[in-house]
Each structure stands twice: as structure tokens, then as C-alpha cells.
Homo-oligomer: A and B are copies of this chain.
Amino acid sequence: MPDTLTHPRRSDIHIESVLHALADPIRLRIVRELAKIGCDGIACGGIDLPITKSTRTHHLRILREAGVINVRPEGTSRITTLRRDDLDALYPGLLDGILAAPH
């Protein structure tokens, strides 16, 4: 896994990158699933998506680098959580508004 799992600090999160990361149906689906799961997070393979593993990795990377999700290694898997505290602090209402959208 060459990916070093870097995450932006809260102060380095930019609204344009967050919106770009969320402006995709697959990534939005990942975020909706993570919002349902809550703080415990989920192994990356645990979200059922109609895409290949490499496409999934690509989408998770965009979300992670934008500051939308946190991915931490745990044993041989990676646990993904939504950075809800950071997003709610930076953009109060944004995430709830998006999650309220019909889909």
C-alpha cells in the first residue's frame, strides 16, 4: 500500500475540495453510509458499492485528502469514519443539508 494515508488538519480543509469530493454519486453514497454507521467506522470493504476495488480506493482517497473521511489502519484492514466533527465545526449545516437530499 504505497498510499501514506495523510489527512489534512481541520485548519487545512478547504470548502472547494470538500464540495468537489462530495459532488459525485459514489462518494456521496459512501458518505451517506458512513453517516449511518457513525463513530465506529467501517472496514473499507464493508460498504457495498458497484465498483472495482481500485475505483473504490480512488474515491476514498479523494474523500480522505479533502478532509471528509478519516481512514486508520487496524490490523490488516482500514477503518473509515466520517469527519463529522470537523465538517460540522467548519461548515455548520452543510453535511446535514447534503444528507437530507433525496436520492
Interface residues of A (CB under 8 A from B): 15-17, 19-20, 22-25, 28, 90-98, 100-103
Contact = CB atoms under 8 A, between A and B. Distances in A.
Nearest to A99: B91
The number of times this chain is found in the oligomer is 2
A97 to B, nearest CB: 3
Q: Is the interface of A mostly helix, strand, loop or mixed?
A: helix
Contact of A91 (B19, B90, B91, B101): B101
B97 A101 contact: no
**Most central of A19, A20, A25, A92 by chain B CB within 10 Å:** A19
B97 A92 contact: yes
B91 A100 contact: yes
Given A91-B100, A93-B96, 13 more contacts: A15-B101, A16-B24, A16-B25, A16-B28, A19-B22, A23-B23, A91-B97, A92-B96, A92-B100, A93-B94, A93-B97, A94-B98, A97-B97
